[in-house]
């Protein structure tokens, strides 16, 4: 093990990160774009206070906080697994064709008459899953599933096809273009609570799938031949891991729109804290992800009161400088 | 040269013949022959005298556009690259030979389709098809404010191009003034504007002065308030209704950012007009009603939340569109 | 006399021609030359075909006549002022993107690497869109696109350790690109639909009504950078191996890397300032060139021809398929290029380059 990589003990780190999530969840309930003071929000949280305050804290901020945690969980986990499975620290879950698939499905729906307000959750998730599975299938065609670089390349090519067809549709239909430019920047607010009900099983299922493949992925990081020698099946493991990633990211994108960057930077932090072993990085990423998303959400509410910034912008604005700082100051943690 | 000019002027401006010297001159022109040289001299004298009295030739208009002064000689074959220009041209009775497909893949806006039958499509607002424009052999091209210089350079090689420099929130009557000047139809335009203003005056009695209104685009994450300086807002203000603060204080911006759901009180008013781009806005209204934040609005509870055609209400600026807005107001508000 | 006898007795290795005399001799890859000629002919044919096509389609005779100024005034105007500048812009930007892609892919030893991922495309788009919808400036959008591309590249360079730490540089580039992309989306969401429409060509890449002065600048840049790239191509061949091997064979790795990066950024920045962020040309053109040339060497010039051909063909398709509604060239390259790229990827045996 390289000497310069400081690894922190897993349990303590996990507890610290979980505490951070707790604090941020609490903050998310107390602060918002409205004109409630912190004291009023606190009272409303406890069930006292004006009717409007109770409505805001319980019906608006509450579901939003829960959604942020779920989405953060999904993005953090999927990013870590994706980067581990493709052996490429540049891999982002969006590369699998998920965001492109979701956008494509939403654009199709709006084109055929739906409205972005009434869009059903299932449309976006079908799109993202379909996109990802198509990518995976094309790579399976020639046994290319064995080569992670080609998987990412295939994902990139497929995404660009979908984006191109989406652009074609937007060219034809002004109305769709006008509606989609707001969906594409992502938002956590205003999502119906039914989204939470739909999203939770999806995310849990994806997490289970991903957790199953983690030991095999850890073996894979020793090299394909070693993994084979230890009795694992690399191609199958990768396929399973990618499916899990697809489900996770598809659900997150369907629930909150495309949130850029979270899936890219959370694994970096996780690996920085506890080392490159995916069995250690995954739990930390699962706890760090919600922190990142919650922090971005709180900032998006406070930055331009009484309006709100789209969360995709905030994650990019926070994530990019942080990523650059991480990359500059230390040796990149290797996979 | 003088002879040609006089013949030209006779074709375009018959009232020039009222001038005694010009009338005499035309008679002399009718008899050719040995008198030609004498006619030339007389023509030169006549022209000199005429231009002394009319410094600018009556058929050539010099306009102050965003890219400097432009001289428009005739306006028989007009190509419009802007919805306001199309509306204005149709309103003053000059059907363009070509127009871009505005807000729709291949067609004119719905409210102009009847008046605009037979107008050839020459591309879209995003990508005007230069060859199709050239094929129409236009005399003048009416383009949007904000046109890029590089497109302007090429267009002005085809025909004199008129690009106004107005803000989006300028009064709607003035926004199309430059187009009207290019077409030379100031009188007709003034008549149409006065017709609309007369309608508004007549309806003022039926409106309950002092009622507040907000025009919004409803997004799931929150509403966007459209500026009250846009055409629809100004018409409502002229009827005696009052805009809410959030819409009135937008300055130059055409619409606000997405307002947080916690601050919906800011758009709440006696009348909430939801601009949708859907054919039937009912779907948007139904979806919005499912959001608990919406049902708490005063306007929603008193059934004063109505949907209006977004095409016409949020971005149109022409006289025909103004008539539509007044129709809608009559139907929805002044029952 | 010595040189002539030497020349006649020394022939190039199999598959190569030996050119030159005296103290200079050059080895020329035969297959590369055939591939280059083929691509060039294809390009000329496509360009001519594209010149004849359009809303009033002309015959070949009329087109050539109009090119030299003979024929109806209407046709001459249309060919010389409308179609020819567009085709020239397409050829130049396609060539620049192709060469940029080839250089960067070889440098990064990664077929995924395109100049776009280090944020140049996103920076150019963000600045151009800002000038149209947000900040009124006296500079035209193409100039701002150039400044945006340069800014993004400078940020990636500066923050990423100057390109000597190659991997870090790409990561920083991705971060910068994502930042600019988010800003662009944000600006487009804030503005009214008319301004958003006007900014649209800059978000997808289009060859419609390009600014002549920027095209002239691009022509100058290509004229300078293409020979430089060709010369650098020789060192690039060695850089395909690991750094240690390249140094052992006499390459000055750091200097070469920096020079290649600068050339790539210049070419891409000017190409994006002309055509906007056209995707996939810099990814697919080197693949096509490599496919035709064989995997020996770095096909710099052939990438240029391939890239120019892709742009011209895509522009032709975009203009004619749904006339009179034009489809921007960026959309077409993605729709055509994507499946083609997938096909190439899946047919070849696994490579480590």
Q: What's the pLDDT at C352?
A: 42
Domain boundary pick from B153, B184, B215: B184
- Identify the pLDDT of residue B18: 39
Q: Report whether pLDDT(C91) > 90.
A: yes
Residue A115 near chain B (CB below 8 Å): yes
First to last CA, chain B: 64
C144 burial class (0-12, 13-18, 19+ CB within 10 angstroms)? buried
Cross-chain residue pair C191–B134, CB shorter than 8 Å? no
Same domain? For B44 and B67 the reply is no
Assess whether pLDDT exceeds 60 at residue A91: yes
pLDDT single digits (tens) A278-301: 899 999 999 999 999 999 999 988
CB < 8 Å to B166, chain C: none
Least CB-CB distance to A190: which of B124, B220, B283? Answer: B220
Looking at residue A129, what is its pLDDT? 79
Chain C hits for A266, CB-CB cut-off 8 Å, are none
Question: What's the mean pLDDT in A75-79?
Answer: 92
Q: B212: which strand partners?
A: B242
With an 8 Å Cβ cutoff, are A189 and B218 in contact?
Answer: no
- Determine the pLDDT at residue B23: 40
The shortest CB-CB distance from A307 to any of B105, B256, B290 is to: B256
Burial of B217 (0-12, 13-18, 19+ CB in 10 A): buried
Could B124 and C194 be called an inter-chain contact, meaning their C-beta atoms sit closer than 8 Å?
A: no
Distance from CA of A178 to the nearest CA of B (A): 9
- On whether both B225 and B171 belong to a single domain, the answer is no
Percentage of residues in chain A with pLDDT exceeding 70? 84
C29: tokens are 């890859």
Spatial separation of the C-alpha atoms in residues B230 and B314, rounded to whole Å: 7
Cis peptide before B29 (omega within 30 of 0): no
Q: Which of B127, B143, B161, B176 to mutate to test the interface with C (most CBs of C within 10 A)?
A: B127
Over range C73-85, report the average pLDDT: 83
- Compare all CA atoms of chain A with the CA of C326 and give the residue at the minimum distance: A171
Produce one character per residue of B312-329: b if its CB has 16 or more CB atoms within 10 Å, e if not.
bbbbbbbbbbbbbbbebb
Torsion from C-alpha of C4, C9, C13, C16, nearest 10 degrees: 40
In this predicted structure, what is the pLDDT of residue B5? Answer: 44
* Coil/strand/helix, residue B271: strand
Among candidates C112, C178, C279 on the partner chain, residue whose Cβ is nearest the Cβ of A320: C178
Percent of chain B with pLDDT over 90: 11
Q: Is residue B195 part of a domain?
A: no
Residue A37 has pLDDT above 50, yes or no: yes
pLDDT average, residue stretch B232-254: 86
Separation CA B204–CA B207 (nearest Å): 5
Q: What is the pLDDT of residue C251?
A: 79
Residue C44 has pLDDT above 90, yes or no: yes
Instruction: Please report whether residue B199 resides in a domain.
Output: no
Domain boundaries, chain A: 10-329
What pairing do the DSSP bridges indicate for beta strands B61-65 and B68-72?
A: antiparallel
- 3-state secondary structure at position B212: strand
- Would you place residue B11 in the very low, low, confident or very high pLDDT band (cuts 50, 70, 90)? very low
Element of type H or E holding A130:
helix A121-141
Q: What's the whole-number mean pLDDT along residues B75-83? A: 90
Which residues, in sequence order, are CB contacts of C70 under 8 Å at separation 6+? C76
Q: How far off is chain A from B88, nearest CA to CA, in Å?
A: 22
**CB contacts, 8 Å: C56 with chain B:** 131, 135
| Rounded alpha-carbon distances, angstroms, from residue B247 to A307, B259, C194, C231, C246 | 13, 11, 19, 61, 65
More confident residue, C52 or A111: C52
DSSP states along B11-36: HH-GGGGGSHHHHHHHHHHHS-STTH
**B192 domain residue, yes or no:** no
Q: Chain A: nearest CA to B266, how far in angstroms?
A: 9
Tokens of C118: 């280090």
| pLDDT computed for residue C344 by the predictor | 64
Does residue B35 form part of some domain? yes
**HSE on the CB side for B68, CA within 13 Å?**
5
Comparing C288 with A254, the larger pLDDT belongs to: C288
Q: Are residues B129 and B215 in the same domain?
A: no
Flag if A158 and C350 touch (Cβ within 8 Å).
no
Q: Give the residue among B125, B64, A185 at the shortest CA–CA distance from C197.
A: B125
CATH code of the region A10-329: 1.10.3470.10
Contact C339 A181 (CB under 8 A): no
Range of the structural domain that residue B254 is part of: 206-332
Which chain A residues are within 8 Å of C167, Cβ to Cβ?
332
Residue B100, in any domain of the structure = yes
Cis status of the peptide bond prior to C324, with omega within 30 of 0: yes
Confidence class for position B1, pLDDT limits 50, 70, 90: very low
Q: Residue B67 falls within a domain, yes or no?
A: yes
C156 to chain A: nearest residue by CA? Answer: A324
**Which tokens in the block code for residue A192?**
């119906």
Name the minimum distance, in Å, from the CA of C72 to any CA of chain B. 13
Residue (of A302, A328, A334, A270) closest to A79 by Cα position: A270
Nearest-Cα residue of chain A relative to residue C338? A157
Query: Distance between CA atoms of B308 and B286, rounded to whole angstroms?
Result: 14
Residue B57 has pLDDT above 50, yes or no: no
CATH for B93:
3.40.50.1980
- Whole-angstrom CA distances from C81 to A20, C77, C139, C346 are 63, 5, 24, 43
Asked if A138's CB is within 8 angstroms of C342's CB, the reply is yes
- Is pLDDT at B9 greater than 60 in this prediction? no
Question: So what's the pLDDT on residue C341?
Answer: 67
Structurally, chain B folds into a number of domains equal to 3
Contact A171 C327 (CB under 8 A): yes
Q: Report pLDDT for C86.
A: 92
Specify the pLDDT at position A142.
Answer: 58
> Confidence class of residue B45 from pLDDT cuts 50, 70 and 90?
low
pLDDT tens per residue across span A140-192? 665 545 566 666 667 767 777 787 778 777 777 766 776 777 677 677 877 77
Cβ-based contacts of C141 with chain B (< 8 Å): 148, 150
Inter-chain contact B259–A308, Cβ cutoff 8 Å?
yes
- Residue A118, pLDDT > 50, answer yes
Is the Cβ pair B124, C325 closer than 8 Å?
A: yes
B41 and B144 part of one domain? no
Closest-CA residue of chain A to B109: A174
CA distances to B136, B137, C55, C59 from C63, rounded to whole Å, are: 20, 20, 14, 6
HSE value, Cβ hemisphere, 13 Å, CA-based, for A333: 22
Other Cβ atoms closer than 10 A to C329: 33
In this model, does residue B243 exceed pLDDT 80? yes
What mean pLDDT is predicted for residues B57-77? Answer: 82
Q: Which of B113-117, B168-172, B206-210, C260-264 reaches the highest mean pLDDT?
A: C260-264
Q: How confident is the model at residue A139 (pLDDT cuts 50, 70, 90)?
A: low
Instruction: Please choose, from the candidates B28, B122, B112, B131, the residue with its C-alpha nearest in 3D space to the C-alpha of residue B81.
Output: B122
For residue B277, give the chain A residue with the closest CA: A175
CB contact under 8 A, C160 and A160: no
Contacts of A301 in chain B (CB under 8 A): 260
For C108, other C-beta atoms within 10 Å of its C-beta total 17
B287 and B230, same structural domain? yes
Residue C242 has pLDDT above 90, yes or no: no
Test A304 with B126 for CB contact under 8 angstroms: no
What are the structural domains of chain C?
Answer: 9-59+91-347 (1.10.3470.10)
CA distance B284 to chain C (A): 19
Per-residue confidence at B8, pLDDT binned at 50, 70, 90? very low
Quote the minimal CA–CA distance from B187 to chain C in Å: 28
C-beta atoms of B284 and A118 within 8 A: yes
Question: Distance from B128 to chain C by nearest Cα, in Å?
Answer: 8
Whether C345 has its CB under 8 Å from any CB of chain A: the answer is yes
Residues B49 and B67 in one domain: no
Interface TM-score (ipTM) > 0.90: no
CB C152 within 8 A of CB C128: no
Check whether residue B211 and residue B174 sit in a common domain. Answer: no
> Between residues A165 and B27, which one has the greater pLDDT?
A165
Which of A224, A262, A316 best tests the C interface by mutation, with the highest count of C CBs <10 A? Answer: A316
pLDDT average, residue stretch B49-77: 73
Q: Which of A141-150, A288-297, B265-274, B308-317 has the highest mean pLDDT?
A: A288-297
Distances from the Cα of A273 to the Cα of A72, A213, A216, B199, angstroms: 18, 22, 22, 71
C314-351: per-residue pLDDT in tens?
999 988 887 777 888 888 887 777 777 666 666 655 44
Note which residues in 18-47 of chain A have CB less than 8 A from chain B. 32-36
What pLDDT does B101 receive? Answer: 83
- Whole-number Cα distances in Å, B84 to A52, B123, B318, C207, C284: 43, 16, 5, 26, 42
Mean pLDDT score of chain B, rounded to an integer? 78
Q: Are A66 and A29 in contact (CB under 8 A)?
A: no
* Cα distances (angstroms) measured from residue C49 to each of B54, B135, B334, C61, C84: 52, 20, 61, 12, 12
Touching C (3+ Cβ pairs <8 A), the chains are A, B
Q: Does B283 touch chain A (CB under 8 A)?
A: yes
Main-chain phi, psi angles of A131, to 5 degrees: -55, -50
Q: Report the predicted TM-score, pTM, of the whole model to 2 decimal places.
A: 0.79
Taking each helix axis as running N to C, give the angle between helix C166-190 and helix C120-129, from 0 to 180 degrees, rounded to the nearest 10: 20
Can you tell me the distance from the alpha carbon of C278 to that of C100, in angstroms, rounded to the nearest whole number? 13
DSSP C280: S
**Smallest Cα distance from C172 to chain A, Å:** 6
Mean pLDDT of chain A: 80
Cβ(A13)–Cβ(A23) under 8 Å? Answer: no
Residue range B120-140: average pLDDT? 87
**How sure is the predictor about C32, in pLDDT bands with cuts at 50, 70 and 90?**
confident
Q: Would you say C85 and C99 are in contact if contact means Cβ atoms under 8 Å apart?
A: no
Looking at residue B135, what is its pLDDT? 87
CA of B170 to nearest chain A CA: how many angstroms apart? 23
Question: Mean pLDDT for chain C?
Answer: 83
């Amino acid at each position: 093990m390289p000497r310069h990589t400081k690894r922190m003990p897993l349990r303590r780190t996990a507890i610290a990160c979980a505490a951070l999530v707790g604090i941020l969840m609490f903050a998310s309930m107390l602060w918002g774009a409205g004109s409630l003071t912190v004291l009023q929000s606190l009272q409303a949280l406890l069930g006292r206070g004006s009717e409007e305050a109770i409505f805001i804290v319980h019906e608006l901020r509450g579901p939003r906080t829960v959604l942020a945690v779920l989405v953060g969980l999904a993005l953090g986990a999927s990013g870590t697994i994706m980067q581990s499975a493709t052996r490429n620290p540049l891999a982002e879950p969006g590369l699998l064709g998920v965001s492109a698939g979701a956008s494509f499905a939403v654009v199709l729906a709006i084109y055929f008459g739906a409205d972005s307000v009434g869009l059903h959750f299932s449309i976006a998730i079908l799109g993202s899953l379909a996109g990802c599975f198509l990518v995976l299938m094309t790579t399976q065609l020639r046994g290319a599933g064995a080569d992670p670089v080609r998987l990412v390349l295939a994902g990139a090519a497929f995404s660009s096809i979908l984006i191109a067809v989406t652009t074609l549709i937007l060219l034809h239909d002004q109305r769709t273009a006008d509606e989609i430019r707001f969906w594409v920047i992502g938002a956590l607010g205003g999502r119906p609570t039914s989204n939470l009900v739909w999203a939770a099983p999806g995310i849990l299922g994806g997490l289970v799938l991903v957790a199953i493949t983690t030991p095999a992925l850890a073996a894979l990081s020793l090299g394909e031949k070693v993994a084979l020698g230890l009795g694992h099946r690399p191609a199958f493991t990768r396929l399973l891991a990618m499916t899990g990633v697809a489900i996770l990211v598809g659900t997150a994108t369907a629930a909150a729109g495309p949130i850029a960057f979270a899936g890219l930077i959370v694994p970096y932090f996780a690996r920085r804290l506890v080392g490159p072993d995916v069995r250690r990085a995954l739990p930390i990423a699962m706890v760090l992800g919600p922190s990142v998303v919650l922090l971005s959400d709180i900032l998006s509410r406070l930055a331009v009161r009484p309006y709100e910034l789209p969360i995709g912008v905030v994650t990019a604005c926070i994530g990019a400088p942080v990523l650059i700082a991480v990359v500059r100051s230390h040796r990149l943690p290797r996979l | 040269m003088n002879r040609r000019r006089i013949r030209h002027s006779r074709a375009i401006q018959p009232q020039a013949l009222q001038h005694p010297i010009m009338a005499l001159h035309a008679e002399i022109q009718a008899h050719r022959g040995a008198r030609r040289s004498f006619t030339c001299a007389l023509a030169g004298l006549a022209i000199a005298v005429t231009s002394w009295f009319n410094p600018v030739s009556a058929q050539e208009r010099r306009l102050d556009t965003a890219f400097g002064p432009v001289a428009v000689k005739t306006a028989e074959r007009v190509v419009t690259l802007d919805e306001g220009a199309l509306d204005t041209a149709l309103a003053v009775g000059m059907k363009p030979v070509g127009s871009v497909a505005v807000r729709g893949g291949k067609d004119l806006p719905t409210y102009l389709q009847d008046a605009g039958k037979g107008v050839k499509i020459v591309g879209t607002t995003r990508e005007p098809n230069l060859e199709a424009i050239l094929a129409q052999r236009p005399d003048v091209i009416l383009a949007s404010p904000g046109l890029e210089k590089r497109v302007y350079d090429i267009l002005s090689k085809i025909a004199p191009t008129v690009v106004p420099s107005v803000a989006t929130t300028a009064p709607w009557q003035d926004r199309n003034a430059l187009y009207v000047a290019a077409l030379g139809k100031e009188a007709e335009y003034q008549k149409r504007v006065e017709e609309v203003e007369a309608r508004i005056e007549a309806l003022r009695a039926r409106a309950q002065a002092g009622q507040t209104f907000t025009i919004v685009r409803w997004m799931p994450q929150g509403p966007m308030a459209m500026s009250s300086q846009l055409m629809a807002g100004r018409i409502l203000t002229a009827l005696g209704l009052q805009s809410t603060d959030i819409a009135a204080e937008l300055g130059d911006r055409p619409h606000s950012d997405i307002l947080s759901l916690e601050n919906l009180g800011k758009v709440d008013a006696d009348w909430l007009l939801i601009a949708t781009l859907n054919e039937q806005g009912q779907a948007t209204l139904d979806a919005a009603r499912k959001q608990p934040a919406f049902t708490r609005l005063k306007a929603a509870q008193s059934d004063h939340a109505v949907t209006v055609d977004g095409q016409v209400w949020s971005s149109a600026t022409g006289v025909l569109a103004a008539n539509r807005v007044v129709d809608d107001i009559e139907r929805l508000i002044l029952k | 006399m010595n040189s002539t006898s030497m020349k006649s007795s020394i022939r190039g290795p199999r598959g190569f021609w030996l050119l030159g005399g005296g103290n200079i001799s050059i080895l020329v890859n035969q297959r590369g030359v055939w591939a280059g000629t083929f691509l060039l002919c294809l390009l000329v044919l496509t360009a001519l075909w594209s010149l004849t096509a359009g809303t009033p389609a002309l015959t070949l005779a009329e087109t050539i006549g109009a090119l030299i100024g003979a024929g109806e005034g209407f046709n001459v105007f249309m060919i010389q002022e409308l179609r020819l500048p567009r085709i020239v812009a397409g050829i130049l930007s396609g060539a620049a993107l192709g060469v940029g892609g080839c250089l960067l892919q070889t440098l990064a030893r990664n077929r995924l690497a395109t100049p776009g991922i280090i944020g140049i495309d996103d920076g150019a788009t963000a600045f151009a869109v800002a000038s149209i919808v947000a900040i009124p400036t006296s500079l035209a959008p193409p100039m701002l696109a150039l400044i945006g591309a340069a800014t993004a590249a400078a940020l990636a360079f500066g923050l990423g350790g100057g390109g000597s730490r190659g991997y870090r540089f790409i990561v920083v580039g991705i971060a910068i690109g994502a930042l600019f992309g988010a800003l662009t989306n944000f600006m487009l969401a804030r503005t009214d639909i008319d301004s958003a429409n006007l900014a649209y060509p800059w978000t997808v890449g289009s060859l419609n009504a390009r600014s002549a002065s920027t095209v002239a600048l691009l022509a100058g840049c290509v004229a300078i950078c293409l020979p430089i790239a060709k010369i650098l191509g020789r060192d690039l061949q060695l850089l395909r191996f690991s750094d240690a091997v390249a140094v052992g064979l006499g390459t000055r790795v750091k200097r070469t890397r920096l020079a290649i990066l600068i050339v790539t950024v210049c070419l891409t920045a000017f190409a994006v300032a002309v055509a906007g962020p056209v995707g996939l040309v810099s990814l697919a053109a080197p693949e096509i060139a490599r496919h035709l040339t064989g995997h020996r060497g770095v096909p710099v010039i052939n990438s240029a021809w391939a890239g120019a051909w892709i742009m011209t063909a895509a522009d032709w398709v975009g203009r004619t398929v749904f006339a009179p509604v034009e489809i921007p060239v960026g959309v077409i390259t993605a729709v055509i290029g994507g499946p083609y790229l997938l096909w190439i990827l899946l047919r070849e045996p696994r490579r480590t380059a």
